[in-house]
């Protein structure tokens, strides 16, 4: 709120007027203190000097002159908020001066200063009136007492004027205020959508209120326009922008420039400005503009808080969902891993007991059983280590890229799974649709991690005797390698989670382990390893699958020219 700091001092002693004026205008430089103490005193009072209010002070050495000064100020529409009057003066004394000034200005605040108590307060009230608008100050008084009285009374005057102006606006602008209330209601409705929507709604409603001809809303990265084109408005010169930063709006040459409230940290922009050209034939008071902008900015603050809370709530919901998924995966992992790890452990324990009892007859068979069980156990542990290693250090893991013959890579991967294809009576076909000789990649990672895991999945989830294909095609500077089966396929849920560590499709209670058997499932680490390696070498992977219709997983490798 802007405070009216225009005040009048009336006293027949000029030295008193000058002393009070210096106090009110920050011109009191402690001149009564000798030069040796001046610096020390200034140090002590520096904070006081900085924080004290500065007033626009007028003076008069007699009551009648003071009366004329007040009258002229009223006539030009620049009234005083406060007059301080000495009670003992020649000519018009303080009481007479106060009476005459009150006749022409009912709102002015008064301080009556006297060294005597010969006039009681009751008499002053009867002769001057409006007791709530004068203060009786007895000499001698402290400087701070006087300053505080001036501050309180000028602030009080300004608040009362603001209230009176608003009441007047309400009385004289009932229809327009009803429009403002309706507009505010529309803005409130837009809060549930987005901040951009709120700003646009405010601009649209303001155009209606002022019956605007055209408008811009400049949101830094976006500009919205309404009505006729407005020229040279999107860039504000430094002086004009500085004025706009000091006030919420400026009216200049038929246009209203509004500096809307903006949480610059949240939106990460410098600010949001609106430029509105109003209809010169339609008068709207600044008080109405004040009311609309004030309410709009308050709603923008509320909207910003609402959006921030909504964002935080969404983040919490996502975090909660991830936690629930993690808990479900952990539960599944405990069930499956206990089964997977217990199986080879049980076999090893059984053979060990047999050897310890001395009842072992076929030592070669027992040795083979122990070897197979230990291999299975080591394989499980290696898979777990692989997935956590590739996920944790994949950004720093070295990739050895070299030119390699694509056919050699495919054949090497096929040889690794050949025994398992034989055990399941399955056929592996290689379809090379394009002439591709070499790729530029890390051969070991492609064979050992990507192709081996994808081919083993196709073997396990295809029926005995099924055909599995490796497809090879070219697209721009990439080769696309696909592993295609006609097995059990995946649901949408399984496809969405297939690369997550420890994720295993289906019910964990029906889980059965195995390396190549039909529908055998491990710890849910194979596809995670594949995805981590694909990311590590900077390539892409894609999956197409549906239940009971098979699966096609394709990944890219760079061609070598």
Which of 264, 283, 300 corresponds to the end of one domain? 300
Q: Which of 93, 68, 108 is nearest to 11 (CA)?
A: 93
Q: Tell whether the model's pLDDT for residue 216 goes beyond 50.
A: yes
For residue 503, what pLDDT band results from cuts at 50, 70 and 90?
A: confident
Q: How much is the pLDDT for 10?
A: 94
Tokens 């009385």 — which residue?
A: 171
Tokens 């924080």 — which residue?
A: 51
Percent of the chain at pLDDT exceeding 90: 27
For residue 35, what pLDDT band results from cuts at 50, 70 and 90?
A: very low
Q: Could you tell me the CATH number of the domain that includes residue 32?
A: 3.40.50.2300
Decide if 222 is inside a domain.
yes
Q: Are residues 524 and 420 in the same domain?
A: yes
Report pTM.
0.38
193 contact partners, CB below 8 Å, separation of at least 6: none
Q: How much is the pLDDT for 30?
A: 46
Q: Are residues 132 and 186 in the same domain?
A: no
Report, as an integer, the average pLDDT of 36-50. 47
For residue 235, what pLDDT band results from cuts at 50, 70 and 90?
A: low
Average per-residue pLDDT for the chain: 80
Which of 300, 331, 359 corresponds to the end of one domain? 300
Q: How much is the pLDDT for 46?
A: 45
Q: How much is the pLDDT for 309?
A: 82
Gap between the Cα atoms of 352 and 358, Å rounded: 10
Tokens 């054949």 — which residue?
A: 411
Q: Are residues 41 and 178 in the same domain?
A: no
Quickly count: other Cβ atoms within 10 Å of residue 556's Cβ. Answer: 21
Report, as an integer, the average pLDDT of 131-141. 83
Q: How much is the pLDDT for 44?
A: 46
Gap between the Cα atoms of 467 and 428, Å rounded: 6
Q: How much is the pLDDT for 314?
A: 84
146 contact partners, CB below 8 Å, separation of at least 6: 20, 23, 137
For residue 411, what pLDDT band results from cuts at 50, 70 and 90?
A: very high
Gap between the Cα atoms of 317 and 495, Å rounded: 22
> Can you give the residue range of the structural domain that contains 542?
391-558
Q: How much is the pLDDT for 278?
A: 80
Could you tell me if 133 and 110 are in contact, meaning their C-beta atoms sit under 8 angstroms apart?
yes
| Residues facing 9 on adjacent strands | 59, 84
Gap between the Cα atoms of 94 and 139, Å rounded: 14
| Residues facing 215 on adjacent strands | 226, 276
Tens of pLDDT, residues 77-95: 999 999 999 988 999 998 8
Q: Are residues 97 and 150 in the same domain?
A: yes
Q: Could you tell me the CATH number of the domain that includes residue 512?
A: 3.30.565.10
The Cβ-side half-sphere exposure at 16, using a 13 Å CA radius, reads 18
For residue 383, what pLDDT band results from cuts at 50, 70 and 90?
A: low
Q: Tell whether the model's pLDDT for residue 254 goes beyond 50.
A: yes
Decide if 311 is inside a domain.
no
Tokens 């209230």 — which residue?
A: 163
Q: Are residues 185 and 166 in the same domain?
A: no
Which of 111, 143, 170 corresponds to the end of one domain? 170
Joined together, the tokens standing for residue 249 give: 């709006």
Tens of pLDDT, residues 167-201: 776 666 667 777 788 888 888 887 777 888 888 89
For residue 511, what pLDDT band results from cuts at 50, 70 and 90?
A: very low
Tens of pLDDT, residues 256-300: 888 888 887 787 777 888 888 887 777 777 878 888 888 888 888
Q: How much is the pLDDT for 483?
A: 96
Quickly count: other Cβ atoms within 10 Å of residue 445's Cβ. Answer: 20
Joined together, the tokens standing for residue 259 give: 């500096």
Total number of domains constituting the chain: 3
Tens of pLDDT, residues 203-213: 998 888 888 88
Q: Are residues 13 and 135 in the same domain?
A: yes
Kind and range of the H or E run holding 492: helix 492-497
Q: Are residues 261 and 410 in the same domain?
A: no
Q: How much is the pLDDT for 469?
A: 96
Q: How much is the pLDDT for 268?
A: 77
Decide if 324 is inside a domain.
no
Decide if 382 is inside a domain.
no
250 cis-preceded (ω within 30 degrees of 0): no
Q: How much is the pLDDT for 445?
A: 85
Decide which of 480 and 394 is more confident: 480
Tokens 């503009």 — which residue?
A: 289
Joined together, the tokens standing for residue 558 give: 């760079």
Widest Cα–Cα separation across the chain: 139
Q: Are residues 200 and 232 in the same domain?
A: yes
Tens of pLDDT, residues 529-548: 888 889 888 899 999 999 98
For residue 48, what pLDDT band results from cuts at 50, 70 and 90?
A: very low
Q: Are residues 58 and 162 in the same domain?
A: yes
Decide which of 36 and 229 is more confident: 229
**554: buried, middle or exposed (CB in 10 Å: 19+, 13-18, 0-12)?**
middle
Quickly count: other Cβ atoms within 10 Å of residue 505's Cβ. Answer: 18
Decide if 310 is inside a domain.
no
> Could you report how far apart the first and last alpha carbons of the chain are, in Å?
74
For residue 334, what pLDDT band results from cuts at 50, 70 and 90?
A: low
Q: Are residues 213 and 163 in the same domain?
A: no
Alpha carbon of 185 to those of 178, 189, 207, 292, 384: distances in Å? 11, 6, 15, 11, 59
Q: Are residues 120 and 238 in the same domain?
A: no
For residue 425, what pLDDT band results from cuts at 50, 70 and 90?
A: very high
Could you tell me if 209 and 288 are in contact, meaning their C-beta atoms sit under 8 angstroms apart?
yes
Q: Tell whether the model's pLDDT for residue 507 goes beyond 80.
A: no
Decide if 363 is inside a domain.
no
Q: Are residues 479 and 466 in the same domain?
A: yes
Q: Could you tell me the CATH number of the domain that includes residue 285?
A: 3.30.450.40
Percent of the chain at pLDDT exceeding 70: 79
Q: Tell whether the model's pLDDT for residue 429 goes beyond 90.
A: yes
Q: How much is the pLDDT for 364?
A: 76
């Amino acid at each position: 709120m802007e405070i009216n700091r225009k005040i009048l001092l009336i006293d027949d002693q000029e030295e008193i007027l000058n002393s009070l004026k210096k106090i009110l205008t920050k011109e009191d430089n402690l001149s009564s203190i000798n030069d040796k103490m001046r610096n020390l005193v200034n140090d002590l009072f520096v904070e006081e000097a900085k924080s004290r209010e500065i007033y626009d002070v007028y003076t008069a050495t007699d009551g009648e002159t003071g009366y004329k000064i007040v009258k002229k100020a009223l006539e030009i529409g620049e009234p005083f908020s406060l007059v301080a009057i000495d009670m003992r003066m020649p000519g018009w004394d303080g009481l007479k001066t106060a009476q005459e000034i009150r006749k022409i200005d009912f709102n002015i605040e008064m301080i009556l200063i006297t060294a005597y108590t010969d006039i009681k307060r009751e008499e002053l009230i009867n002769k001057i009136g409006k007791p709530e608008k004068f203060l009786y100050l007895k000499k001698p008084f402290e400087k701070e007492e006087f300053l505080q009285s001036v501050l309180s009374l000028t602030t009080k005057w300004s608040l009362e004027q603001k209230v009176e102006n608003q009441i007047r606006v309400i009385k004289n602008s009932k229809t327009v205020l009803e429009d403002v209330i309706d507009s505010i209601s529309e803005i409130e409705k837009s809060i549930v959508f987005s901040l951009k929507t709120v700003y646009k709604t405010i601009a649209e409603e303001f155009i209606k209120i002022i019956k605007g001809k055209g408008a811009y809303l400049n949101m830094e990265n976006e500009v919205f326009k309404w009505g006729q084109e407005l020229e040279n408005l999107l860039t504000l010169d430094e002086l004009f922008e500085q004025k706009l930063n000091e006030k919420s709006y400026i009216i200049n040459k038929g246009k209203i420039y509004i500096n809307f409230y903006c949480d610059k940290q949240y939106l990460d922009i410098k600010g949001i400005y609106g430029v509105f050209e109003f209809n010169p034939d339609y008068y709207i008071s600044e008080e109405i503009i004040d009311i609309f902008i004030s309410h709009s900015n308050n709603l923008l603050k509320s909207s910003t808080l609402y959006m921030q809370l909504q964002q935080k709530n969404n983040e919490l919901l996502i975090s909660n969902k991830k936690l629930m998924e993690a808990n479900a995966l952990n539960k599944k992992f405990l069930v499956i891993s206990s089964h997977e790890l217990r199986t080879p452990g049980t076999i090893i324990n059984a053979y060990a007991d047999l050897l310890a009892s001395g009842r072992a007859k076929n030592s070669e068979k027992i040795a083979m059983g122990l070897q197979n069980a230990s291999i299975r156990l080591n394989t499980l542990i290696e898979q777990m280590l692989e997935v956590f290693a590739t996920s944790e250090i994949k950004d720093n893991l070295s990739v050895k890229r070299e030119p390699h013959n694509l056919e050699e890579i495919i054949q090497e991967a096929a040889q690794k799974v050949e025994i398992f294809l034989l055990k399941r009576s399955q056929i592996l076909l290689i379809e090379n649709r394009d002439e591709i000789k070499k790729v530029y990649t890390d051969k070991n990672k492609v064979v050992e991690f990507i192709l081996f895991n994808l081919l083993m999945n196709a073997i396990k989830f295809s029926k005995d005797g099924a055909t599995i294909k490796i497809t090879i095609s070219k697209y721009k500077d990439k080769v696309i390698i696909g592993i295609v089966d006609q097995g059990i396929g995946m649901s949408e849920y399984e496809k969405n989670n297939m690369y997550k560590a420890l994720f295993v499709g289906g019910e964990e209670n029906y889980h059965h382990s195995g390396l190549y058997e039909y529908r055998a499932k491990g710890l849910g680490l194979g596809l995670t390893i594949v995805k981590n390696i694909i990311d590590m070498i900077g390539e892409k992977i894609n999956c197409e699958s549906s239940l009971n219709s098979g699966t096609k997983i394709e990944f890219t490798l760079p061609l070598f020219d």
